[in-house]
Structure 1
Amino acid sequence: MKHYIGIDLGTSAMKLILLREDGVICNTVSKEYPIAFPKPGWSEQNPEDWKAALLAGVPELIRGMNPLDLAGIGCGGQMHGLVALDEQDQVVRPAILWNDGRCGRQTDWLNHEIGTEKLMQWVSNIAFAGFTAPKLLWMKEEEPENFARIRKIMLPKDYINYILTGVHATDYSDAAGTLLLDVAHRCWSAPMLKICGVNDSQLPKLFESYEPIGTVKEDLAASLGIPAALPVAAGAADNAAAAIGMGVVGDGGCNISLGTSGTIFLSSEGQIANDNPALHIFAHADGGNCLLGCMLSAASCNRWFMEDILKTDDYAAEQSAIMEEKLGCNPVYFLPYLMGERSPINDVNARGVFFGMTMDTSRADLLQAILEGVAFAIRDSVEIAAKNGLLPEKSKICGGGAKSPLWRKIFAAVLNLPLEIPENEQGPGIGAALLAEAAGTRANIRQLSREYAHASETVLPDPVLVERYEKRYQQFRKIYPACRELFTEFAKEQEV
């Protein structure tokens, strides 16, 4: 029976999955690597550490199996990171990661001097400090000697594919997060390349995520113990790969992820309108497009309150104190903007706020407010999506926060959507393996994705709670506008 390797190149570790063609996960391996923070707000990694994880991880993953049963490799990975190679394909400098904040000035210049209207026209998105284009501008201004050495600009998972195949390639879903891709026309944006001072020859060739870009090099295959003719898929950005693994494909697909940050991913076969630039229009790994909303603090709000404030890690015990009759009736609200916010308010100065506390407020009320506040903030993005014709009938929900039955119940009611719990939640690795299967067999990736994804449980919205939470949400959405000017004022005071 054929087997496929799926690679998830994460920020802290590479996770490898061995997936059999009947959908059984035969083995998993994880290899950690360090993150460097050379200066406050900076975040870097050495791509050689990713290579080392690959070289160590694959032999361990396939140990005990017949390597001739392998039929393909796919990789999903962290987005936006700048990997610069010189003319000998050597890494010019450590990769600047998605969560690096050094490019604030360049980001502001793009949004204000070039203008968000032009950016939306050229690349369907405005600039964020995490995106690749501002990193290129920073490197051009701050490290001109290194910038002059660049012969290839790649993304993290594309560097792994290069190590495997020797091919400089990327896929549309990952390229969309660079701010260099004309998402609507599926090509590199000439105006943005000119602004960043780079040309087509410095950029990798574009592929659909499920297309093969080449085969594993003979010398590397020998060291890994795998066949040299093994096809390698173009792969996908982490969110897109995860969506493939959970069956979120075609029109109407939706996934909510409750991790450290929170995302809502909505898929569409056609072009997507967007009247809020803080939501991203990206290409999807299924050949269509997606609308992505990202809130910076989701499950991390809960962890902050539990571990830093209450000094406990017994999450279940704390949530058990929240009474059923209080759901939808809590007088306390929480703005979950502990690290500022991206989607949909796009305000770096926003901060966390408890509102409505009295002498009767309990710790259970505060915890409930946090769980509800995160759900309300995700609904803000759902509301924007609905205005642009993307209102899902149901959604998958995953991530650490989604393991809480109470939080799932709150989310279902706040969004008024059935929420499906995936049977297997292995992140982008599963999606990457399915992309490898599609690349090797030319099977339809949407069909593969839907056949693989199964729900272990569906949480239906309680009609009584839906009505209660509708009223609470309408009140919640008034709090941020009332605080916006104060957030800006306080931020200016802290700069002095």
Structure 2
Amino acid sequence: MTYLIGTDLGTTSTKSVLYDHQGHVIASANVGYPLYHDTVTTAEEDPQEIWQAVQATIHQVSAGIDPEDIEGIAFSSAMHSLILLDSQKQPLTRVITWADNRAAQDAAELKSQPLGDRLYHLTGTPIHPMSPLVKLHWLAHHSPELLAQTCHVVGIKEYLIYKMTGQLQMDYSMANATGLFNLYNFDWEPVALDYAHITRTQLPPLVDTDAVIDGLTPVAASTLGLAPTMKIIMGASDGALSNLGVGADEPGVAAITIGTSGAVRVMTKQPYLDPEGRLFCYYVAPHHWIVGGPINNGGQVFRWVRDELFTTESQTARANQQDPYDQLTALAATVPVGAHGLLFHPYLSGERAPLWNADARGSLLGVTTTTTKADIARAVLEGIVMNLNTVLQLTAAAEPVHAIRATGGFARSSLWRQILTDVLGQPITIPASFESSCLAAAVIGLKALGHIDDLTAIHAMIGATETYQPNAANHQLYHQHQVVFDHVTAQLAPLYHEIATLNR
């Protein structure tokens, strides 16, 4: 029997899962690393720490398995990361992540120009400081000497695959999220390259998501404890693979993910571009595109609540060998639907969809002398979901939604599941396996290696699912809150820049 590893390079952790050819989980591992916020607008990772996490997770899932029996590794990765490499392919920067907002002013200026609209309609990537397109423009004006030393422009997945194989390549899915890729001719877009102040020769060759690299370097094989003949399958972006991994690969089936960040995505058979540039459109595989919107503020907001507002409770939970998140959600569950009228706008890290405003800031509205910590905990959970609901409404123009699949760390919480279905007013289906991106990467690998004929084989691998039904009374109450939530967002939007200026 041979196996395949699916590895997901996330924003705050790397996950690896060992699968057999039927998609059964043999072993899994998860290793975290910090996201560095040196300033309020900076969000970077250390590529060496991620490489160490990749090594650790692969060692854990391959323990006790003959290296010759592991046929390959297929990758999933967070989008929009940027690393500049020198002539020796050594990093000149840390990993500049999607959450980095230093290019906010550049994005705002580009968005106000006809060029911004043109680039969106060429690339499918919304104009925002998340994208390497705008990050590179910012670097060209703020660190021109750094860009002058740059021979290669890549993301974290491309850099790690280089360390494993000695080859630099980028798949269409990851390239599509850079803002530098023409989604019609599947090539680097000259207009975008001019704006970013880079050349085609600095970017990797483009390949499809099922491209295979034969063999590891001797150093990588020794470091990872794997056979040198093992194959690397390029895979795709985590967003694209998450849809596939939960079975949301047909028109009208939406996937909602809440991890560190979050997203709402629907699959279409051809590209769709929002007239106002509010939705992304990214390639997955032939005749498979995802259309949707990412949010900056998912689970990381609840982490902030845990670390800053519930410090004592978290310490107590850890002392009792309990998960602090479980204690927080249990506390939130004691509060009625609507958190006694408390509204939380979760824009702690600016926001992508639906606002596309790096200056957006969080707010807690409706605070009174009777407001409790439990109210705040519940309002935070509800605010994250109401923001996702706003994005879901935008995707209806691309593809009317008749079914919802949900996944991510939040799916472990029955309270979050119920809040999600009640706010959306639709049933949601949760797969038993939470690592949807790892599974989908592995399935792309199985197809690339000839073990399956079609990606639809994943439907037999997803396993058990659980469906939650909305409570009609709760949905009606949440609808009232949603109207006010959206109205307040519209009222505050013109002030976000002024508030962000005070922050800075």
The worse-fitting range, judged by mean Cα deviation, of 416-425 and 240-249 is 240-249
Q: For residues 247 and 490 of structure 1, do their structure 2 counterparts lie closer, same or farther at Cα, with a shift above 3 Å needed?
A: same
| Residue 470 in structure 1 maps to residue 479 in structure 2 | yes
What's the CA shift for 1:291?
1.9
Contact 1:176 1:283 in 2 (8 A): yes
Q: For residues 280 and 70 of structure 1, do their structure 2 counterparts lie closer, same or farther at Cα, with a shift above 3 Å needed?
A: same
Counterpart amino acid of 1:350?
A
| Residue 178 in structure 1 maps to residue 188 in structure 2 | no
What's the CA shift for 1:192?
0.7
SS at the partner of 1:477?
Answer: helix
Q: Of 315, 318, 336, which residue of structure 1 is paired with 2:331?
A: 318
Counterpart amino acid of 1:264?
V
SS at the partner of 2:418?
Answer: helix
Q: Which runs of 5+ in 2 are unaligned?
A: 314-323
Paired position in structure 2 for 1:120: 120
Paired position in structure 2 for 1:353: 363
Counterpart amino acid of 1:258?
I
The worse-fitting range, judged by mean Cα deviation, of 124-133 and 219-228 is 219-228
The worse-fitting range, judged by mean Cα deviation, of 106-115 and 9-18 is 106-115
Contact 1:276 1:384 in 2 (8 A): no
Paired position in structure 1 for 2:447: 438
State the alpha-carbon separation in 2 of the partners of residues 31 and 376 from structure 1. 30
Q: For residues 318 and 273 of structure 1, do their structure 2 counterparts lie closer, same or farther at Cα, with a shift above 3 Å needed?
A: same
CA deviation map 1:401-437 (0-9, x unaligned): 3333233222212212211112111253333222222
Aligned pairs for 1:258-277 within 5 A: 258-277=258-277
Paired position in structure 1 for 2:383: 373
State the alpha-carbon separation in 1 of the partners of residues 277 and 212 from structure 2. 33
Paired position in structure 1 for 2:419: 410
Q: For residues 76 and 286 of structure 1, do their structure 2 counterparts lie closer, same or farther at Cα, with a shift above 3 Å needed?
A: farther
What's the CA shift for 1:157?
0.7
Q: For residues 190 and 57 of structure 1, do their structure 2 counterparts lie closer, same or farther at Cα, with a shift above 3 Å needed?
A: same
Paired position in structure 1 for 2:14: 14
SS at the partner of 1:201?
Answer: helix
SS at the partner of 1:281?
Answer: strand
SS at the partner of 2:112?
Answer: helix
Contact 1:329 1:468 in 2 (8 A): no
Aligned pairs for 1:78-117 within 5 A: 78-113=78-113, 115-117=115-117
Paired position in structure 2 for 1:426: 435
Q: For residues 414 and 286 of structure 1, do their structure 2 counterparts lie closer, same or farther at Cα, with a shift above 3 Å needed?
A: farther
SS at the partner of 2:5?
Answer: strand
State the alpha-carbon separation in 2 of the partners of residues 209 and 345 from structure 1. 30
Contact 1:261 1:294 in 2 (8 A): yes
Q: Of 461, 482, 487, which residue of structure 2 is paired with 1:452?
A: 461
Q: For residues 137 and 114 of structure 1, do their structure 2 counterparts lie closer, same or farther at Cα, with a shift above 3 Å needed?
A: farther
State the alpha-carbon separation in 1 of the partners of residues 43 and 348 from structure 2. 19
SS at the partner of 1:272?
Answer: coil
Identity of paired residues, percent? 26
State the alpha-carbon separation in 1 of the partners of residues 81 and 23 from structure 2. 31
TM-score w.r.t. length of structure 1: 0.88
State the alpha-carbon separation in 1 of the partners of residues 41 and 378 from structure 2. 31
Paired position in structure 1 for 2:23: 23
State the alpha-carbon separation in 1 of the partners of residues 429 and 251 from structure 2. 17
CA deviation map 1:368-392 (0-9, x unaligned): 4333332221111111111x23232
Q: For residues 474 and 112 of structure 1, do their structure 2 counterparts lie closer, same or farther at Cα, with a shift above 3 Å needed?
A: closer
Contact 2:360 2:493 in 1 (8 A): yes
What's the CA shift for 1:308?
3.3
Paired position in structure 1 for 2:193: 193
| Residue 383 in structure 1 maps to residue 384 in structure 2 | no
RMSD in angstroms over aligned alpha carbons? 2.9
What's the CA shift for 1:366?
4.5
Aligned pair count reads 491
Counterpart amino acid of 1:18?
L
TM-score w.r.t. length of structure 2: 0.87
Paired position in structure 2 for 1:280: 280
State the alpha-carbon separation in 2 of the partners of residues 90 and 232 from structure 1. 21
State the alpha-carbon separation in 1 of the partners of residues 108 and 411 from structure 2. 35
The worse-fitting range, judged by mean Cα deviation, of 252-261 and 39-48 is 39-48
Q: For residues 366 and 189 of structure 1, do their structure 2 counterparts lie closer, same or farther at Cα, with a shift above 3 Å needed?
A: same
Paired position in structure 2 for 1:76: 76
What's the CA shift for 1:464?
3.6
Contact 2:329 2:415 in 1 (8 A): no
State the alpha-carbon separation in 2 of the partners of residues 72 and 279 from structure 1. 34
Counterpart amino acid of 1:351?
R
| Residue 461 in structure 1 maps to residue 470 in structure 2 | yes
Q: Which runs of 5+ in 1 are unaligned?
A: none
SS at the partner of 1:370?
Answer: helix
Q: For residues 357 and 33 of structure 1, do their structure 2 counterparts lie closer, same or farther at Cα, with a shift above 3 Å needed?
A: closer
State the alpha-carbon separation in 2 of the partners of residues 460 and 488 from structure 1. 40
Contact 1:236 1:285 in 2 (8 A): no
Contact 2:99 2:349 in 1 (8 A): no
Contact 1:208 1:287 in 2 (8 A): no
Aligned pairs for 1:219-298 within 5 A: 220-221=220-221, 224-284=224-284, 288-298=288-298
Contact 1:253 1:268 in 2 (8 A): no
State the alpha-carbon separation in 1 of the partners of residues 292 and 283 from structure 2. 10
